[in-house]
A and B are shown apart, each in its own frame.
Chain A
Amino acid sequence: MNYFIKLLLIMFVASMSLTNANAETAEKKGLTIAKQVEKQDEGWQDTTASMKMILKNRQGEESSRLIRLKVLEVKGDGDKSLTIFDSPKDIKGTAFLSFSHAIVPDDQWLYLPALKRVKRIASSNKSGPFMGSQFSYEDLASFEVAKFKYKFLRDEKLGNINTFVVENYPQYKYSGYTRQVVWIDKQRYIPLKIEYYDRKNDLLKTLAFNDYKQYLNKYWRASEQMMVNHQNGKSTQLIWSNYQFQTGLSKRDFEKNSLKRAR
């Protein structure tokens, strides 16, 4: 046999077995990366931030919402979050309390200031739109390793940043997605881009994380997030500001009966 062909054959066989080896470890590698993403973001305790949400429709018409967030880190479970709406003005003072969980439905309460009424709401609806935006409730919930099964796909350069490309498979039965493809910065272990595939496995949305800033010399937070829906042509931009950490919030600030205090 020609030496060159022999070499090619060896390379082919070797690459086949390598591929097999990869197939065995792609899930493990994906999981390892996910665990590292979670680990490097542990210990921030609590955070408060302001968010401006800019909704754009296919015709380019814009509307905006002003929202404040308070989040309490919960070890071993999803975080507790309190979302307070400042605009549009007709819902000013409305507050949304959520105890997020990995694979069971979140606990959610809505406070309606006009009636002073607190309503517990059905939460199997994680895939529903948040405030008429292109973000669903599950897109905004905290990242927990247990929420997905993983598969490492490839290494790739995104712009000039080296990334892992990992596929996430939601384990939550009411998820709106079959899978998500996530580009993770190899150095900082933070997501840079996510592609969301709908229940029919068609590309639905792309989320880009821009302008990351580091807080407490450890925690990275994107100052801007841009979600584009490829199926309806709409987009939603989140502009984050006024991030504060370890402000001394306690579980008492995240109780149904504390919602009337929310402002």
Chain B
Amino acid sequence: MTRYKLSTATFFVISISLPLISFSGIAFSGWESSGSVSIEARIFPDSPAYAEQNDETISPSIVIEPEFVYEWNKNQDRITVTPFARWDADDDNRSHLDLREASWLHIADEWDLVVGISKVFWGVTESLHLVDIINQTDTVEDIDGEDKLGQPMVNLNLIRDWGTIGLFILPRFRERTFAAFNARLRGPVPIDVDNATYESSRRENNIDGALRWSHTLGDWDIGLGYFQGTSREPRFLLAVNNGQAVFVPRYDLIDQTSIDVQLTTDSTLWKLEAISRGGQGRRFTAAVAGLEYTFFGVLDSSADIGFLFEYLYDDRDMSMAPIVVTDDDVFLGARLTLNNSQATAFLAGAIIDRHSEETLFFMEAEHRLSDYWKFELQGRFFINIPDESFNAGFREDGFLNFRFSRYF
């Protein structure tokens, strides 16, 4: 699928017009508009590892994400349109446009139907989202895998006493986004996003499908999933483009069966996600399992402190399947929620490889400044990265991201 690169001029027009459209909501009778505009600054304390990369310490960007909703038929029918635009001063690939959502939802008592571009989340764990496969990851947004590109779909959900069945037809594949050649967080070998290859002869027009059953049984929340189609996760094939060594993304055809389970007890959430995937070398298994324990109302305050522990396992053959670093890793984290009117919260954690001790450290903080303004801080740091690691190219790209958002 085409990536939409954004010139500064286009961006300027969009950034002026979108809020105008949304604020003049009355003009579109029946449409309800909301959304946010954010300014961000990524601070890179270290100089980059490669000479071609921008050596800017402060990398600013602007994000606009409005949402337009129209409902009719006693709210049984709803159209949601959520465009997304980012302009990044230093990364041409991170400056991008997307339609996060442009869908029609029809609600009946025992079923609902989504037609159009939408987003779906599957899973329960915190450190890695193994099971979540419907939408492509928008990697340039953040490296935590939580930002997703809009996915064209027809999704029918049947709601029954024995659980909900979700049927998905996914008619068009979205390629993963990657940082530009001269940008930070691009890795040791630049990724040639314009020449991706596919196993399917229909390339991005392969029709993918998925099926999900999910149900709550007392304290247990259980989900089973099956996906057949183009892997959201590419392999990288080494190639030469204009005399430069590049990685070409390769999207294989896979089948993936998944389970996600959460057991909720008094103060502990027990979590498991596991997948079995075929199509990339021999069939492999990956899993994340762990718990989150919360101390409520610590020290006679209204604050909660939660501790997170997860173990990450993956037995894939990395010569045939996409390379991952989370093959035998431990995740440790802590979450502090003040439960105040500003909803102040902190999260810090580290994913540590049990053998190489290669560590991804991350922290997040958020604080509501007013009914319309919010402040967020994210930090991502790469520690103890050995030269042979797939993440070696990110070593110098640890950063802090400051984000101020205005909601409307």
Contact = CB atoms under 8 A, between A and B. Distances in A.
* A and B are interacting partners: yes
Interface of A: 55, 57, 63-64, 87-92, 105, 107, 115-125, 127-129, 131-133, 174, 176, 250, 252, 255-258, 261, 263
Interface string B326-363: 00000000000001111100000000000000000000
B221 A250 contact: no
A120 B78 contact: no
Contact of A88 (B110, B120, B368): B368
Interface string B29-46: 000001010000000000
Interface centre among A90, A117, A120 (most CB of B within 10 A): A90
B7 interface: no
B171 to A, nearest CB: 20
B341 A63 contact: yes
Contacts of B343: 91, 132
Interface stretch (B237-245, B296-304, B314-322): B296-304
Nearest to A232: B302
A257 B216 CA distance: 10
A210 B340 CA distance: 26
B339 A252 contact: no
Contact of B302 (A55, A118, A128): A128
Contacts of A256: 214, 216, 221
Given A117-B121, A129-B339, A257-B214, A122 B368 contact: no
16 contacts: A57-B341, A116-B119, A119-B124, A120-B124, A122-B264, A122-B294, A123-B264, A125-B294, A125-B296, A128-B297, A128-B304, A131-B341, A132-B343, A133-B341, A174-B266, A176-B297
Contacts of A132: 339-343
Contacts of A128: 296-297, 302, 304, 339
Given A115-B146, A252-B159, A263-B75, A90 B368 contact: yes
Given A115-B146, A116-B120, A132-B342, A127 B371 contact: no
Interface centre among A87, A252, A255, A257 (most CB of B within 10 A): A257
B58 to A, nearest CB: 25
Nearest to B302: A129
Interface string B122-137: 0110000000000000
A185 to B, nearest CB: 32
A122 B268 contact: yes
A124 B371 CA distance: 29
Interface centre among B121, B219, B264, B407 (most CB of A within 10 A): B264
B98 interface: no
Given A128-B296, A255-B164, A89 B408 contact: yes
Nearest to B120: A116
Contacts of A131: 341
Query: Closest 7 A-B residue pairs measured CB to CB?
Result: A89-B407, A132-B341, A257-B164, A124-B266, A117-B121, A125-B296, A90-B374
B107 interface: yes
A74 to B, nearest CB: 15
Contacts of B109: 250, 252
Contact of B371 (A63, A118, A125): A63
Interface in B241-267: 262, 264-267
Given A116-B119, A256-B214, 18 more contacts: A55-B341, A63-B341, A63-B371, A87-B371, A89-B34, A89-B407, A90-B36, A91-B343, A107-B216, A120-B221, A123-B264, A125-B296, A127-B297, A128-B296, A252-B159, A257-B157, A257-B159, A257-B164
Interface in B46-79: 69, 71, 75, 78
B154 interface: no
B372 interface: yes
A261 B297 contact: no
Nearest to B34: A92
A90 B343 CA distance: 10
B105 interface: yes
A43 B370 CA distance: 41
B230 interface: no
Nearest to A117: B121
Contact of B121 (A57, A89, A91, A116): A116
Contacts of B164: 255, 257
Interface in B148-165: 157, 159, 164
A35 B308 CA distance: 43
A122 B266 contact: yes
A255 B216 CA distance: 9
B189 interface: no
A107 B262 CA distance: 13
B269 interface: yes
B405 interface: yes
Contacts of A121: 264, 269
A120 B340 contact: no
B34 A124 contact: no
Contacts of A258: 112, 159
A261 B219 CA distance: 23
